[in-house]
Amino acid sequence: MTEHPPPEKAALRRQLLAARRALSPESRGAAARALARSALALPELAGARTVAAYVSVGAEPGTHELLDALRAAGKRVLLPLLLPDNDLDWAAYEGPGSLTEAAHPGKMRLLEPSGPALGPEAVTAADAVLLPGLAVDGRGMRLGRGGGSYDRVLARLERAGTHPALVVLLYDEEVVARVPEEPHDHPVQAVATPSGVVRF
């Protein structure tokens, strides 16, 4: 949540985002289908009653199929609502028709659930939390996009004393040797990619 991330973090973010933008729509679609299969095979997700997830945007690994598969499996799926201070509120996912486009000043347009907001603490009821990211290294350290929203979520889970499974969704080549870390960075338990799962 630092204002000025280490320069190597910023450089790695630029490189990873450029690689994502270079992917064709066809390869993104195929990756999203494979990613849904990989993630659903994770015992942490298979056994979860409530999963906090997110709606992918732009060139992020696609989550739409995964969200519908989790819901079809009878799980309660919570999706984030971005607050003006970059913190996250949560609402239940009720299917593709329940998502509405939300415009946040100075940010990309996001799809958010249209149901009632449950409050930022709602995430503490999740058995598994799916985290967006740009890379994860062999120690399970995650490189986020730099907005700080999920650093707050992870800090909230820690304060509440809850220990949901933390799973990052990435493309295969985003599992890297090492990402630069800062004191507030938390390791994750697993990463799901189109070709399978890596656990830490």
| Report field, pTM of the whole predicted structure over 0.85 | yes
pLDDT tens digits for range 133-167: 999 999 999 999 888 899 999 999 999 999 999 99
Of the candidates 36, 149, 162, the residue with the CA atom closest to the CA atom of residue 90 = 149
Here the tokens at position 85 are 């201070």
Closest CA to 152 of 173, 174, 125, 123: 123
Give 113's contacts (C-beta < 8 A, 6+ positions apart). 79, 81, 91, 92, 93, 94, 98, 99, 100
Contact 71, 115 (CB under 8 A): no
pLDDT for the residue numbered 193: 96
What pLDDT was estimated at residue 8?
A: 86
Phi, psi of 77 (to 5 degrees): -115, 125
- The answer to whether the CB of 143 falls within 8 A of the CB of 177 is no
How large is the angle between the packed helices 25-40 and 64-72, nearest 10 degrees?
A: 30
The mean pLDDT value of the chain amounts to: 92
Integer Cα distance of 66 and 192 in angstroms: 11
**Distances 71 to 28, 65, 192, 199, 200 between C-alpha atoms, Å:** 22, 10, 18, 24, 26
CATH assignment, 7-199: 3.40.50.10420
Q: pLDDT tens, 91-105?
A: 999 998 999 998 877
The residue extents of the domains of the chain are 7-199
